[in-house]
Structure 1
Amino acid sequence: MGETQTKTKILSIENLIIKFKLRGQVLTAIRDISLDLYKGESLAIVGESGSGKSVLVKSIMGLLDKNGYIDQGKIIYKDDDLSQFKTEKDWLKIRGKEIAMVTQDPMTSLNPLKTIGKQIEEAVLLHQGLTGNEAYEKVLQLLRDVGIYDVEKRYKQYPHEFSGGMRQRIVIAIAIACNPKILICDEPTTALDVTIQAQILQLLKNLQEKYLLTTIYITHDLGVVAKVADRIAVMYAGDIIEVGKTDEIFFNAQHPYTWALISSLPQLGVKGEVLYSIKGTPPNLFKEIKGDAFAPRNPYALKIDYVERPPYFKLSETHFAKTWLLHPSAPKVEPPETLKKFFEEGRQYTNG
C-alpha cells in the first residue's frame, strides 16, 4: 500500500496467512494480510478481542504457539524473511535485540525470585555487552528513564514490592535495555487504572523519541490510540480492513466496522442512553469466510458483501479501506448521525 517516498520501510508483511491446528481442525487466524511499518512511526493495530492482533505481532517475534504456523507470505525485516526462521538460534538474532515486546501483564514477565535490578541487568549484559559498574550505572539510568525514583533502593527490591504501574515500567525498562529498533506494546495499559494508563502512554511516547524507536501498539481501545499513534490499522476476523493516519481513521473512517468501533467510544455516548455496542458475533474462523467477514453484522451490507471479498479502495496516499461501499457503482451510504457530527467537529479541530 502506498506511502510518501520520504519514509523508510523498517518492516514489511506481505500476503501473510497464519493457521492453527486445533483438535483435528484448522483455524485461519490471519487471512492474507499485507502491511508496511515505517521507521520512527507509531502504528496502532486495533480491533475486538479475537481479531488476530496478538497473533500478528507474535509472528513477528517468533512466538506463535506450537500448533500455529505461517501457511503463506513473508515478514521482511532488513535482509531477512522472518517467516522462514525455524530455530531459536535464528530468532535470538532478532528477538529483544532488534524487536522487543512489552506485554499487558507485567507479573508474567518478571521473575518473582530476582531483584528488578538484576533482571534489567541481564538484558543489559546480553544485548549491550556492558559488565560490572558500567552495567550497574546503565540499569540505574534505565530506571530513571522509565520514571522510577530512588533508583539505588529500587534496584535491590523484588517485583512484589512494586505496584502494577511500577511493574509495567520495569517491563518497559527491560525491553528498552535490549536496545531494539522496534518496540511492540501488546495492550500495555489494560490492567492499569485510567490515571496510570495516561502516565504509561506518555512514558512510551517519551521513550520513543529518546531511543528513536518504531512502535506498534496492540489495543482494543480506540481512546488509547488517539494519544499515541501516527497511523492506525483496523483488524477484523484476521484481516486489516482499514488503514490510515490517525486523523483519517478518526474523522474520515469509511468501513462500517470502523464506524462501529468509533461509535462504541464512551465520549460518543448520550447521558441516560445505553452505550452503543456492535450487534452479533465475529465469524467462525474454522470455516471459510466468503465475501466481507463483517457482512452479517453490517447494517449497510450489500449483496456482493456476502459473495466476494472487497479489495482495498484508495482514499489518499495513506488511507485505504476494504469495503464495497467505496466502489463507484455502490449506493451512497452516510455514517450514523452521531458519527457525522463527530467527524465534522474533528475535521475542524485538526484543520484548525
Structure 2
Amino acid sequence: MQDVILSVQDLEVEFTLRGKTLHAIRGISLDICEGESLAIVGESGSGKSVFCKTFMGLLDSNGRVTRGSIRYGEKDLAAFKTEKEWLSVRGKEIAMVMQDPMTSLNPLKTVGAQICEALTLHQGMKGEAAKQKATEILEDVGITEAARRFGQYPHEFSGGMRQRVVIAIAIACNPRILICDEPTTALDVTIQAQILKLLKDLKAKYKLTTLYITHDLGVVANVADRIAVMYAGDIVEIGTCEEVFYTPKHPYTWALLSSLPQLGVRGENLYSIPGTPPNLFADVKGDAFAPRNPYALKIDFVERPPYFEVSPTHKARTWLLDPRAPKVEPPENIRNLRSVQEGNV
C-alpha cells in the first residue's frame, strides 16, 4: 500500500446564492495516495472542480466547508480560516493548472517573469538563478528556444504552448500534489495527447501526485492509475483505471462510457444521457441518478445507497450491488468495451 498524502473524510460544501443554499459536495470521503494519478470524472456541475478547490482554499466567497476534514500531514485544511494559513500550502505544497491558460496568465508580463515570480515566492530564488531555473523549466515542459521564449508575452504563444507555460508555473512552485483542471480543454486531439504525455513525464521527473479533473473518461485512459466518478456532488464509483473501464458497476459510469465516440455506431446518433442532473438547492432523496437511470429500483428513489465493495480497490454506490437486488447486466457496448479498445489500438 502507498502512503496516503491527502485524506478527505465526510466532506460537505455549501454555497449561498440569492438567499438559498446549494449543496455542492455531499459527504465525500477519499484517500489520495502519494505518487498516484487520480482522475476525477463527471458531467459539468457534478462538483469536480469545487471538490479540488477546497484543497487550496479557492472556493468563492459565498462557499464554505460545512462538515468533514481534509487531512494533509498534520494539518486539517478544512479548518483553515486565514489567507496566511492557505499560503503555507497553496502553490508550495498543492498547485493547480487552471482550465483556461489565457485567463490564467498575465498579458502584461513576460512568460519568464511569471515563472520567476513563482520561483521567488515558493523557492526563494532571485535574479540570474531564477532566470536560469525558469529557462530549464520551460525546456522541461517542451518549449523550444526557451531562452528566447523567456522574454515573450502570452499572446505570442499558441494555445498548446500557453498550456505548457501554465504547467511550468505550477511546477516552479515545487509542489507535492498537482491538480490539473481540464488540462486539454479547447486543444485539438494531437495537442491533447502531447499535453497528457508531458504531464505523465513531469509526474515521474518531479515525483508528483497528480489529480486530473475532466468530463471525458477517454482523456484519462492512459494517464490515470485510479478513477473516481462524480455525480451530483458525490463519488458514486471509484476503482483502478482497468476496473472502471472494463468492469464498471454504477449505471452512471455505464452512461458516461456509452458516451465515448468510439462506442458510437456509424449512421446513428451518438449516445447522450437523458434528463438533467438534480437540483442541488433541494434535498436529494435516494440515489441522485435514479430519475435518469433506466435500471433504477424502487429503493433508489427512497434511500441513498451505501458503498458496496467489488474488490479491495473498487467500490460503487448503487443498490444494484445489494445481494437482494435483481441481477442486471451492463449494456452490451460496455461489455464489449475491451474488444473495442483493443481494435482501436
- Which TM-score tier does this pair reach, normalised by the shorter chain? over 0.9
2:75 to 74, 80, 88: 80
3-state SS, counterpart of residue 55 of structure 2 = helix
The letter for the 1-side match of 2:29 is: S
1:346 Cα offset (Å): 6.4
Partner of 2:26: 31
Partner of 1:156: 151
Q: How many angstroms apart in 2 are the aligned matches of 1:348 and 1:304? A: 39
Partner of 2:274: 279
1:242 to 225, 237, 252: 237
Partner of 1:112: 107
Q: How many angstroms apart in 2 are the aligned matches of 1:86 and 1:298? A: 40
1:345 Cα offset (Å): 6.3
1:136 to 116, 131, 153: 131
Partner of 2:64: 69
Partner of 1:217: 212
The letter for the 2-side match of 1:54 is: S
The letter for the 2-side match of 1:95 is: R
Q: How many angstroms apart in 1 are the aligned matches of 2:18 and 2:127? A: 50
Q: How many angstroms apart in 1 are the aligned matches of 2:189 and 2:214? A: 15
Q: How many angstroms apart in 2 are the aligned matches of 1:138 and 1:36? A: 33
1:179 to 155, 164, 174: 174
2:268 is equivalent to residue 292 of structure 1: no
CA change 1:75–1:65 in 2 (3 A) is same
3-state SS, counterpart of residue 40 of structure 1 = coil
Alignment deviations for residues 284-321 of structure 1 (CA, whole Å, 9 cap, x no partner): 00000110000000000001000000000001110000
Q: How many angstroms apart in 2 are the aligned matches of 1:342 and 1:291? A: 29
1:167 to 162, 166, 170: 162
Partner of 2:201: 206
Contact kept in structure 2, 1:222 and 1:262, CA below 8 Å: yes
Q: How many angstroms apart in 2 are the aligned matches of 1:202 and 1:338? A: 28
Partner of 1:189: 184
Unaligned regions of 5+ residues in structure 1, if any? 1-5
Contact kept in structure 1, 2:263 and 2:340, CA below 8 Å: no
Q: Which moved more, 1:143-152 or 1:129-138?
A: 129-138
Q: How many angstroms apart in 2 are the aligned matches of 1:70 and 1:77? A: 16
Unaligned regions of 5+ residues in structure 2, if any? none
1:255 Cα offset (Å): 0.2
Partner of 2:298: 303
The letter for the 1-side match of 2:224 is: A
1:12-23 alignment, distance < 5 Å:
12-23=7-18
Contact kept in structure 2, 1:251 and 1:346, CA below 8 Å: no
Q: Give TM-score scaled by structure 1 length.
A: 0.96
1:227 Cα offset (Å): 1.8
Q: How many angstroms apart in 1 are the aligned matches of 2:119 and 2:246? A: 42
Q: How many angstroms apart in 1 are the aligned matches of 2:147 and 2:12? A: 47
Partner of 1:314: 309
The letter for the 2-side match of 1:283 is: P
Contact kept in structure 2, 1:62 and 1:91, CA below 8 Å: yes
Partner of 2:331: 336
Q: How many angstroms apart in 2 are the aligned matches of 1:67 and 1:133? A: 42
Contact kept in structure 2, 1:242 and 1:255, CA below 8 Å: yes
Alignment deviations for residues 239-276 of structure 1 (CA, whole Å, 9 cap, x no partner): 00000000000000000000000000000000001111
1:104 Cα offset (Å): 1.4
Q: How many angstroms apart in 1 are the aligned matches of 2:174 and 2:182? A: 21
Contact kept in structure 2, 1:251 and 1:344, CA below 8 Å: no
1:134 Cα offset (Å): 1.4
1:337 Cα offset (Å): 1.3
Equivalences, count: 344
3-state SS, counterpart of residue 227 of structure 1 = coil
Contact kept in structure 1, 2:53 and 2:59, CA below 8 Å: yes
2:84 is equivalent to residue 89 of structure 1: yes
CA change 1:116–1:317 in 2 (3 A) is same
Q: Give TM-score scaled by structure 2 length.
A: 0.98
1:107 Cα offset (Å): 1.1
Q: How many angstroms apart in 2 are the aligned matches of 1:18 and 1:47? A: 17
2:227 is equivalent to residue 251 of structure 1: no
- Report percent identity of matched pairs: 69
2:22 is equivalent to residue 10 of structure 1: no
The letter for the 1-side match of 2:245 is: F
The letter for the 2-side match of 1:286 is: F
1:132 Cα offset (Å): 2.1
CA change 1:348–1:171 in 2 (3 A) is closer
Partner of 1:102: 97
Contact kept in structure 2, 1:104 and 1:191, CA below 8 Å: no
3-state SS, counterpart of residue 280 of structure 1 = coil
Contact kept in structure 2, 1:47 and 1:53, CA below 8 Å: yes
